[in-house]
């Protein structure tokens, strides 16, 4: 069954807040959904499916239906970490193609920053619970694992196997910050240099403070519609060409840590989309840490294993480079409210629609091209590279 | 040392994993080997995750020797007990039998830890009920 262009993103909204101590996570979700429906020119009554994930302890799918006061025919609270929303898009595509639903909203909201959640360095007690499960927590968290530590171990291994340098990881942070400097909502907008990254303090070796994403509040929503509905919405649809899902874990104690879930999800997405890497005009790659971007690019197949360090050098990921990536400033500089996958879909959609016409963020103008990018790839990673994680690849194309 | 003094997280022990933790108290590191497919697995489970055999895997004594597969020197962890101990080395050790386990590397300076470094298990009694396996540089 050819699923290409059987569903489209027709509305997006990124909540502008980065700090919202007086809002609930639910309100941020509701405001984001309303914003995305406004963007699409659709209304509450059009929505027949809800896809939502939240940070633990978290809100539930049915609880969110109660708060929103809706009775959707499809609820999906798949939670595979920060990249859950790429999985949601994959599931929404399938549900729409099967004729089960016409209009889905995918949404996220979080008060990780104002709630004081040390997402990356809180260890197992960051959600307040200090009781471990017998497996696998009791074999891991007792040793003081942190999220950043679990990514740092992968960075260390990559450096050992391939000679990847801290300077190369730093280039990623520098490019993201450059993009953030053009994003009025970004949390950090002052340009930085490779030297700034390397001289920032080590959080968990070999990762520095500026190798790590920010912690913000925030949220966003995406409206996904059937082709018939997509033809009546306010803005041009952004079509889903291909999706793929993958999980990577320890494999009973044997897995090669440098093989990500992306290695499994990307071939599915490319095969479904019927495109190659040369066709991808821009990327949105989940950037929890600089190493996440480097390793994801390798596992997606943009370069060979071990060549990520060279690949990200020389400004390739900059908006005016060969592969513009995270043009909103990413999690490293714009926002990271605990989970970030929703923003990958939002920014890719805005770029493909040409929403940034007349601004420095207009990707194609910066690359001396006449038209907006035609095809974007989004890849969400959830969980931790060093223990277990998910990967969802999405390939989108404009009308 | 009593539970009150030990501020770090304690493992929760269930029937599935009790032999492992009991062995730690005796100074033995146990891993599991499937009676059907013959593969080792770690962390321990009540079944073989490799082949889903009907019979549970056997507990076998590991040599306790291995090498550092990867590591990180942790400078920031907000959790009680760990916050006071930074910088500490979080590592994945590859045992001689092939499986990898999370651990800390003790009895050496964090800056001296290297990938590939030979290490050996060392046990620390942290409460009357719990003894935890760690690793240290292998004695020559």
Average pLDDT, chain B: 96
Residues of A with CB under 8 A from a CB of B: 118, 121-126, 130-146, 148-149, 152-154, 156-157, 160, 201-207, 250, 252-254, 257, 386
The answer, yes or no, to whether residue A128 has pLDDT greater than 70, is no
| CB contact at 8 A, A225 and A103 | yes
The reported pLDDT for the residue numbered A131 is: 80
pLDDT (tens digit per residue) in B84-115: 999 999 999 999 999 999 999 999 999 999 99
Torsion of CA A67, A69, A70, A74, to 10 degrees: 20
User: In whole angstroms, what is the distance from residue A266 CA to residue A242 CA?
Assistant: 9
The reported pLDDT for the residue numbered A55 is: 83
User: In whole angstroms, what is the distance from residue B93 CA to residue A328 CA?
Assistant: 38
The reported pLDDT for the residue numbered A127 is: 64
Helices (H) and strands (E) in chain B, counts: 1, 8
Share of chain A above pLDDT 70, in %: 99
pLDDT (tens digit per residue) in A291-338: 999 999 999 999 999 999 999 999 999 999 999 999 999 999 999 999
B3, HSE (Cβ side, Cα atoms, 13 Å): 5
Place of tokens 């830890």: B113
Instruction: Name the minimum distance, in Å, from the CA of B54 to any CA of chain A.
Output: 17
| CB contact at 8 A, A126 and B78 | yes
pLDDT (tens digit per residue) in B50-76: 999 999 999 999 999 999 999 999 999
Instruction: Name the minimum distance, in Å, from the CA of A256 to any CA of chain B.
Output: 10
Q: Containing H/E element for A167?
A: helix A166-180
The reported pLDDT for the residue numbered B101 is: 98
| CB contact at 8 A, A81 and A63 | no
Q: How far is CA A297 from the centre of its chain?
A: 14
pLDDT (tens digit per residue) in A92-123: 999 999 999 999 999 999 999 999 888 888 87
A351 in helix, strand or coil? helix
pLDDT (tens digit per residue) in A347-359: 999 999 999 988 8
The topology under which CATH files domain A8-115+213-398 is: Peroxisomal Thiolase; Chain A, domain 1 (3.40.47)
The arithmetic mean of pLDDT across residues A217-232, rounded, is 97
Share of chain B above pLDDT 70, in %: 97
Option in A130, A156, A204 nearest B76 (CB): A204
Torsion of CA A352, A381, A219, A133, to 10 degrees: 170
A130 band by pLDDT with thresholds 50, 70 and 90: low
Longest dimension (CA), chain B: 46
The answer, yes or no, to whether residue B1 has pLDDT greater than 50, is no
Among A366, A331, A305, A301, CA closest to A172:
A331
Q: Burial letters for B48-80: b for 16+ Cβ neighbours within 10 Å, e otherwise?
A: bbbeeeeeebeeeebebbbbbbbbbbbbbbbbe
Instruction: For residue A54, give every residue at least 6 positions away whose Cβ sits within 8 Å of its Cβ, in sequence order, or none.
Output: A25, A79, A108, A109, A110, A339
Share of chain B above pLDDT 90, in %: 95
Among A385, A293, A355, A301, CA closest to A330:
A293
A248 beta partners: A389
Mean pLDDT is lowest, of A19-33, A136-150, A203-217, A362-376, for: A362-376
User: In whole angstroms, what is the distance from residue B61 CA to residue B68 CA?
Assistant: 20
The arithmetic mean of pLDDT across residues A189-210, rounded, is 98
Provide, as residue numbers in chain A, all residues whose Cβ is less than 8 Å from the Cβ of B77: 121-123, 144, 146, 149
Q: How many CB atoms lie within 10 A of CB A131?
A: 10
Q: Taking CA A206 as the corner, what is the angle to CA A202 and CA A208, rounded to the nearest 5 degrees? A: 35
The arithmetic mean of pLDDT across residues A371-384, rounded, is 95
Between A and B, how many CB-CB pairs are < 8 A? 143
Phi, psi of A358 (to 5 degrees): 85, 5
What are the residue boundaries of the structural domains of chain B, listed by start?
Answer: 14-61, 63-140
Among A76, A75, A31, A77, CA closest to A58:
A77
CB contact under 8 A, A157 and B99: no
User: In whole angstroms, what is the distance from residue A315 CA to residue A324 CA?
Assistant: 9
The answer, yes or no, to whether residue B140 has pLDDT greater than 80, is no
Provide, as residue numbers in chain B, all residues whose Cβ is less than 8 Å from the Cβ of A201: 75
CB contact under 8 A, A386 and B104: no
Strands A49-52 and A103-110 turn out to be: parallel
Instruction: Name the minimum distance, in Å, from the CA of B140 to any CA of chain A.
Output: 24
CB contact under 8 A, A137 and B85: no
Residue of A nearest to B93 (CA): A253
The reported pLDDT for the residue numbered A364 is: 78
The answer, yes or no, to whether residue B2 has pLDDT greater than 70, is no
The arithmetic mean of pLDDT across residues A74-81, rounded, is 97
B45 touches chain A (CB under 8 A): yes
User: In whole angstroms, what is the distance from residue B125 CA to residue B82 CA?
Assistant: 17
Instruction: For residue B118, give every residue at least 6 positions away whose Cβ sits within 8 Å of its Cβ, in sequence order, or none.
Output: B65, B66, B67, B137, B138
User: In whole angstroms, what is the distance from residue B38 CA to residue B55 CA?
Assistant: 12
User: In whole angstroms, what is the distance from residue A361 CA to residue A354 CA?
Assistant: 10
pLDDT (tens digit per residue) in A137-180: 999 999 999 999 999 999 999 999 999 999 999 999 999 999 99
The answer, yes or no, to whether residue A213 has pLDDT greater than 80, is yes
* Domain B63-140 listed as CATH 1.10.760: no
Instruction: For residue B4, give every residue at least 6 positions away whose Cβ sits within 8 Å of its Cβ, in sequence order, or none.
Output: none
């Amino acid at each position: 069954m050819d699923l290409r262009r059987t569903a489209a993103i027709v509305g997006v909204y990124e909540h502008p807040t980065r700090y919202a101590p007086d809002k609930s996570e639910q309100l941020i979700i509701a405001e984001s959904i309303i914003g995305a429906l406004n963007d699409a020119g659709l209304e509450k009554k059009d929505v027949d499916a809800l896809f939502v994930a939240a940070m633990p302890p978290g809100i539930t799918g049915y609880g969110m239906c109660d708060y929103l006061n809706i009775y959707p025919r499809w609820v999906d609270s798949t939670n595979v970490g920060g990249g859950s929303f790429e999985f949601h898009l994959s599931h929404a595509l399938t549900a729409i193609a099967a004729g089960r639903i016409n209009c889905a909203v995918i949404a996220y909201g979080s008060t990780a920053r104002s709630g004081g959640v040390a997402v990356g360095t809180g260890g197992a007690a960051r959600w307040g619970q200090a009781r471990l499960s017998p497996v696998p927590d009791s074999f891991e968290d007792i040793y003081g694992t942190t999220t950043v530590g679990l990514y740092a171990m992968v960075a260390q291994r990559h450096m050992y196997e391939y000679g990847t340098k801290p300077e190369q990881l730093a280039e990623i942070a520098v490019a993201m910050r450059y993009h953030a400097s053009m994003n009025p909502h970004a949390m950090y907008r002052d340009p930085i240099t490779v030297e700034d990254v390397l001289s920032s303090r080590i959080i968990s070796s070999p990762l520095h403070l500026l190798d790590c994403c920010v912690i913000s509040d925030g949220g966003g929503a995406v409206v996904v519609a059937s082709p018939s509905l997509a033809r009546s919405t306010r803005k041009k649809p952004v079509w889903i060409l291909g999706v793929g899902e993958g999980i990577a874990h320890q494999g009973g104690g044997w897995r090669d840590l440098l093989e990500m879930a992306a290695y499994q999800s990307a071939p599915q997405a490319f095969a479904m989309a019927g495109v190659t890497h040369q066709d991808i005009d821009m990327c949105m790659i989940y950037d929890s840490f600089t190493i996440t971007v480097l390793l994801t690019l390798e596992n997606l197949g943009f370069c060979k294993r071990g060549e990520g360090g060279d690949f990200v050098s020389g400004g390739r990921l900059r908006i005016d480079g060969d592969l513009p990536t995270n043009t909103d400033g990413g999690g490293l500089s714009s926002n990271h409210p605990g989970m970030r996958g929703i923003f990958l879909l939002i920014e890719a959609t805005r770029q493909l629609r040409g929403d940034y016409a007349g601004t420095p963020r207009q990707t194609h103008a910066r690359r001396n091209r006449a038209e907006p990018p035609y095809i974007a790839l989004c890849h969400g990673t959830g969980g931790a590279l060093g223990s277990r994680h998910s990967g969802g690849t999405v390939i989108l194309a404009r009308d | 040392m009593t539970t009150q003094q030990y501020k770090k997280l304690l493992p929760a022990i269930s029937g599935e994993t009790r032999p492992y933790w009991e062995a730690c108290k005796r100074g033995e590191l146990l891993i599991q080997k499937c009676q059907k497919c013959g593969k080792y697995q770690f962390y321990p489970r009540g079944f073989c995750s490799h082949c889903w055999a009907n019979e549970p895997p056997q507990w076998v004594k590991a040599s306790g020797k291995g090498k550092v597969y990867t590591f990180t020197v942790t400078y920031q962890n907000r959790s009680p007990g760990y916050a006071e101990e930074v910088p500490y080395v979080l590592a994945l050790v590859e045992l001689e039998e092939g499986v990898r386990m999370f651990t800390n590397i003790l009895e050496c300076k964090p800056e001296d830890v290297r990938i590939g470094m030979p290490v050996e298990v060392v046990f620390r009694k942290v409460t009357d009920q719990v003894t935890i396996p760690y690793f240290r540089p292998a004695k020559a």
